[in-house]
Chain A
Amino acid sequence: MTTLRRRTVLQGMGVSALATALAGLPVLAQDRTAIRIGYAVPKTGANAAGAGISTIPNYLLWVDDVNKAGGLELSKLGVTLPLEVVEYDDRSTTEELVRAIERLATQDNVDFILPSWGTGPNLASGPTFDRFGYPQLAATAVTDMAPDLVQRWKHSFWMLGGGHDYANALVALLVKQREAGAINNKVAIASVADGFGIDLSKAATPAFTEAGFELVYDKTYPLGTSDFAPIINEVSGLGVDTFVAFSYPPDTFALTQQAVVANFSPKVFYLGVGTAFPIYPNVAGPNHDGVMGVGGIDPDSEALAAYFERHTALNGQAPDSWASAITYASLEILQQAIERVGDLDREAVANEISTGEFDTVIGKVKLVDNQLRALWTVGQWQGGKFVGLAHTERDGARDPVVPKPAWVPAA
């Protein structure tokens, strides 16, 4: 048995302090052993749930995929390097996010920074990405401002469309159903009084009116509402064939359950964020079939099916059928742009992202004016998959099922 002497302890402390200090030094280019990828994402706070479904699992999967394949080839440097991750928790606050990005850019000297989750955080970190010249691949931001933002921040890329894309696509789809005589002219809209709900209802209300629909109910409900009985009860007496809710995940689930309980089963039942989540069929049980929502996937794509399998194997959960595949595709775009440029020149990589064409899980992608314009806008649960009914550039993957199957009463 040896006893620790004070000198031994102090020596040990000195060595470890030195080691810590050295670990903080920036890596020199010639002896780099990895490509450093940094991100600050909400692991705690209000945005943690959304990031935990669409953002973080895809970052983990991408790093895993790249490293399993041996890393990224940098032809100009003559090396193939694995990815190394520096991650922070932005605690769902903007101030933390901005500072974490400053830290990633100037202290950790990472080569690329991946964005946080959500529209607000991506808008808020735009100036910081821009100031340090890092490309920003905003895969989870829905904003109609994107055309202005790409002028302001040249290296920003907006991948999830704007409120008008989703609202107009829904209206166009419903017009066809009305012309086919599948639904009547009456529509009810309930929107959450928060970013997503307001953006979409602001676009949808005039679009519905212009298309000649009668909006018999168009109201907002406060964020955090848990009792939807009053809304469902009021709407169920109005004789609508179409119920639209621009809702958030907890509301999406509660609205479904309440509609089943009240046996309010309109021919078109459309919900917002959360409909495309892999847990939606568990929440809704047999009643998920035929429910429409924002997003969608191509059920016939083999690349996407393989992505679903890899995602489930690594993360223990399937990706959602809206922003997840887009997020993963944004990382593939970054990866291919880096390999084409052949080194870590961010300016050149951003330029390649802006002008190149890329092969991704969502198909061939070429950005238009720094925006991803090839998007699934309306989806529907059919045969256990949330299939895309409407796309901004191509035909729907499946025809809509209208009317949807009647609710199976809750046991």
Chain B
Amino acid sequence: MMKLLAALVALAALAFVPAFAGPYPLGLGIGILGYGVLATAWAMFSGPTRYISLATVAFFGLGAYTVAVLADVLPYPLVLLVAALVGLVVALIVGLATLRLAGIYFVIFTFGLTELVRQLVTYYEVNVTRTLGRYVFLPIGPEHIYWQLLALLAATLAIAFWVSRSRIGLALRVIGDDPDVASHLGVRITRTKLTLFSISCVIMTLAGAIQAPRWTYIEPSIVFNPTTSFLVVIMALLGGPNRLFGPLLGAIPLFLLFEWLSANFPNHYSIILGLLFIAIVFVLPNGVLAAGDSLWSRLTRKAVRP
């Protein structure tokens, strides 16, 4: 109960940030919230199942494109609803077709999916509408985007919390540990995976839809940028994908670090970034939170948590 209260207080406090933050801090806030939502949504499915998905930006881009296509036709809340539906439908189709894949095959498929979606959108735009770029002129300022992302993050964390406590979350962890055991235990593997995959994908789609008005101009190479998928994975891994606040705590420092690096080392950014990724995988394979825990228990001479 206390925890819930604290969370609500924190949420309310964050909602007042646009009132006194300048445009640049607000931009940082939008970036952090955006990646926080994506990393948390990614970890919701990929954390317990250990299915590394590189399809994040496919759904993110679909959301942005839905807004670009429908912004002039429908009122904004309806556009968001349609975006969520589009994300859900694609997630179900993709999930049914691929969640029987495992390991490296799933990784490759999801990476290919991003390219597939991007090429399909391009094909449609080139051959049907004969325009590639689309304009989003919506009267939505940075502070509105910030509030929407904050609400989405709160909802995502709530869902992630519920999943971790529920039967479906437990089932997912069993699948991640050993799919054979899970099936012998009577876990409906495909249905469980599909449910979580869909929830996670819908959230990603909404994240893209909400951020679209910030860019004015949208084309496939802008919204289907594969780097986003990689960044989300590395953020979630840094924080620890199996903890509620892990992905968020990975997204915040990494995002600020990228910002600092690109401001101070614009010419060496990629090199430093590459070294950093290697370091994260080698030094902190289970994430910062897990490393912090094991350090704490070593300091207090307690047994390391299993």
Contacts and interface: CB of A to CB of B under 8 A. Distances in A.
Interface of A: 43-46, 87-89, 91-96, 98-100, 102-103, 105-107, 119-120, 123-124, 126-127, 131-132, 145, 152, 193-195, 198-199, 202, 220, 222-223
B131 A44 contact: no
Given A103-B24, A119-B133, A193-B123, 15 more contacts: A44-B270, A89-B262, A91-B227, A91-B269, A95-B31, A99-B259, A102-B24, A105-B23, A107-B24, A123-B135, A126-B216, A195-B219, A199-B132, A202-B131, A220-B126
A383 to B, nearest CB: 36
Nearest to B115: A224
Nearest to A45: B227
A27 B78 CA distance: 47
> B28, B34, B266 — which one has the most chain A CB atoms within 10 A of its CB?
B266
Interface in B102-136: 119, 122-123, 125-127, 130-133, 135
A251 to B, nearest CB: 15
A96 B222 CA distance: 11
Interface of B: 22-24, 27-28, 31, 34, 119, 122-123, 125-127, 130-133, 135, 137, 211, 214-217, 219, 221-222, 225, 227, 259, 262-263, 266-267, 269-270
Contact of B27 (A102, A123, A126, A220): A102
Contacts of A89: 262, 266-267, 269
A107 B266 CA distance: 17
B266 A87 contact: yes
A152 B119 CA distance: 31
Contact of B222 (A124, A152, A223): A124
B117 to A, nearest CB: 14
Contact of A95 (B123, B214, B267): B214
Contacts of B123: 193
Q: Which 4 pairs from chain A and chain B are nearest by CB?
A: A123-B217, A89-B266, A99-B27, A193-B126
B119 A120 contact: no
Nearest to B217: A123
Contact of A120 (B214, B222, B266): B222
Interface centre among B24, B34, B270 (most CB of A within 10 A): B24
Contacts of B22: 106
Contacts of A43: 266-267, 269
B227 A93 contact: yes
Nearest to B26: A102
B219 A120 contact: yes
Contacts of B267: 43, 89
A46 B23 contact: no
Contacts, number: 98
B189 to A, nearest CB: 37
B23 A106 contact: yes
Given A106-B23, A198-B131, A202-B131, A96 B262 contact: yes
B222 A94 contact: yes
A238 to B, nearest CB: 21
Contacts of B122: 193-194, 222-223
A114 to B, nearest CB: 14
Given A88-B262, A102-B23, A131-B23, A222 B119 contact: yes
A99 B262 CA distance: 11
A105 B142 CA distance: 15
Contacts of B262: 88-89, 91, 96, 100
A87 B137 CA distance: 28
A254 to B, nearest CB: 19
A46 B221 contact: yes
15 contacts: A44-B269, A46-B221, A88-B266, A92-B225, A96-B262, A102-B24, A105-B23, A120-B133, A120-B217, A124-B222, A145-B135, A194-B221, A198-B131, A202-B130, A223-B122
Contacts of A99: 24, 27-28, 31, 259
A294 B227 CA distance: 31
A106 B262 CA distance: 17
A199 B131 CA distance: 7
Residue in B133, B135, B225, B270 with the greatest tally of chain A CB atoms within 10 Å: B133
Nearest to A141: B217
A265 to B, nearest CB: 29
Contacts of B23: 102, 105-106, 131-132
Q: Taking each of A45, A91, A95, A105, which has the highest tally of chain B beta carbons within 10 Å of its own beta carbon?
A: A95
Given A87-B266, A91-B262, A120 B221 contact: yes
A225 B259 CA distance: 34
A142 to B, nearest CB: 11
A195 B269 CA distance: 28
A98 B266 contact: no
B228 to A, nearest CB: 8
A124 B225 contact: no
B227 A198 contact: no
Given A44-B270, A193-B122, A195-B133, A124 B216 contact: yes
A277 to B, nearest CB: 20
B263 A88 contact: yes
A88 B269 CA distance: 10
B215 A124 contact: yes
A93 B230 CA distance: 14
A45 B228 CA distance: 12
A225 to B, nearest CB: 12
Contact of A195 (B132, B135, B215): B132
A131 B34 CA distance: 22
B225 to A, nearest CB: 6
Contacts of B227: 45, 91, 93
A222 B121 CA distance: 12
A119 B132 CA distance: 12
A43 B135 CA distance: 25
